[in-house]
């Protein structure tokens, strides 16, 4: 049975229908919107606009994980994330997710009002699992083959769906042993993180198999390079491709869609939900 609610600190997130997580990068070098929201006021304005457009979660990230990205220091990440997080927590009624792999950022963000941890490294950094457990927050565990510096050089799999699920199951087991119960876990197959286009498409097709774990699935396909390769569109012209992939992911069981274009994705999901009552009767 799929988890249908997540307790995100003081807020309850309902996942009986897919919800949108709005991306807010407070970095100078993210692939799509780097440098636009590094000022706390600009970040608040963007977060407010995304909430007004229907975002249920705002995902704040202070360390770019684009292919080839360099690591930042703990202090740099805190200096980027905390001013925006504190302003948004004070001003907006929304679940705030912190996109981080860094234990100190997890605990500091939780104390300042974050409601979720979104970790592309699945709590593998030293101290991360213990730090996440102490926060009591839900955690999204993502699969990545390699690291951002090298992940896209030559990713290989025998069966990408089987291998991604095996990795995530290992991390689920580690979390449960470390004090993070199943009802606080979300899974992300990590589209574009150590995967080529064939791997990404196989994972998208295989989302129903990943959903068999019984945990909510997060899909982050927005503006990814795959859309550019398949459509020939540069990053600023990938709206239609991004919304199409979000809809395909939702149809295949994704509960949380991590996107840059919130309003358009919310509209598409509303249409999908309007169709749902008719699918069984006309199938």
pLDDT of residue 28: 76
Q: What's the distance, CA 108 to chain centroid?
A: 20
Domain 17-274: what homologous superfamily? Dihydropteroate synthase-like (3.20.20.20)
Which of these is catalytic: 224, 233, 252, 276? 224
* Contact present, 222 and 260 (Cβ < 8 Å): yes
Mean pLDDT of all residues in 92-99? 98
DSSP 8-state assignment for residue 218: E
Is 224 tagged catalytic? yes
Judged against a pLDDT cut of 80, whether residue 231 lies above it is answered with: yes
pLDDT of residue 65: 75
Q: Distance between CA 213 and CA 8 in Å, rounded?
A: 21
pLDDT of residue 191: 97
pLDDT tens, position by position, 56-93: 999 999 987 776 677 789 999 999 999 999 999 999 99
- The larger pLDDT score, comparing residue 91 to residue 29, is at 91
pLDDT of residue 79: 93
pLDDT of residue 48: 98
Mean pLDDT computed over every residue of the chain: 92
Q: What Cα–Cα distance (Å) separates residue 142 from each residue in 119, 121, 188, 234?
A: 6, 6, 4, 26
- The helix (run of H) or strand (run of E) holding residue 110 is helix 103-111
Tokens of 220: 């982050």
Residue 5 has φ and ψ, to the nearest 5°, of -140, 150
- The larger pLDDT score, comparing residue 150 to residue 204, is at 204
pLDDT of residue 30: 46
pLDDT tens, position by position, 30-44: 445 445 667 889 999
pLDDT of residue 31: 47
Helical pair 239-251 and 197-205, crossing angle rounded to 10 deg: 40
Judged against a pLDDT cut of 60, whether residue 181 lies above it is answered with: yes
- The larger pLDDT score, comparing residue 115 to residue 149, is at 115
Is 258 tagged catalytic? yes
Judged against a pLDDT cut of 90, whether residue 3 lies above it is answered with: no
Which of these is catalytic: 171, 184, 252, 258? 258
- The larger pLDDT score, comparing residue 162 to residue 146, is at 162
pLDDT band at 51 (very low <50, low <70, confident <90, very high): very high
Tokens of 148: 């951002």
Q: Under DSSP, is residue 97 helix (H, G, I), strand (E, B) or coil?
A: strand
Domain ranges of the chain: 17-274
């Amino acid at each position: 049975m799929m988890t249908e609610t997540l307790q995100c600190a003081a807020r309850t997130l309902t996942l009986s229908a897919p919800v949108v997580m709005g991306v807010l990068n407070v970095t100078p070098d993210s692939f799509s919107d780097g440098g636009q929201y590094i000022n706390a006021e600009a970040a608040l304005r963007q977060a407010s606009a995304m909430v007004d457009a229907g975002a249920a979660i705002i995902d704040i990230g202070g360390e770019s994980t684009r292919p080839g990205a360099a690591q930042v220091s703990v202090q740099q990440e805190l200096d980027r994330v905390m001013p925006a997080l504190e302003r948004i927590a004070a001003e907006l009624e929304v679940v705030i997710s912190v996109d981080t792999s860094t234990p100190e950022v997890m605990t500091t963000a939780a104390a300042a009002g974050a409601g979720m941890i979104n970790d592309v490294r699945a709590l593998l950094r030293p101290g991360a699992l213990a730090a996440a457990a102490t926060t009591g927050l839900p955690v999204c565990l993502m699969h990545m083959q390699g690291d951002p510096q090298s992940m896209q050089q030559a990713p290989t799999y025998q069966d990408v769906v089987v291998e991604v699920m095996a990795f995530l199951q290992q991390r689920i087991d580690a979390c449960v042993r470390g004090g993070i119960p199943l009802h606080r876990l979300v899974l992300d197959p990590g589209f574009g993180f150590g995967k080529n286009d064939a791997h990404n498409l196989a994972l998208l097709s295989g989302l129903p198999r990943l959903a068999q774990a019984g945990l909510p699935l997060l899909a982050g396909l927005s503006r990814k390079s795959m859309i550019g390769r398949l459509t020939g569109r540069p990053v600023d012209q990938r709206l239609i491709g991004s919304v199409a992939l979000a809809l395909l992911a939702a149809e295949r069981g994704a509960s949380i869609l991590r996107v840059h274009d919130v309003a358009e994705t919310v509209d598409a999901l509303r249409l999908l939900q309007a169709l749902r009552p008719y699918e069984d009767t006309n199938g």
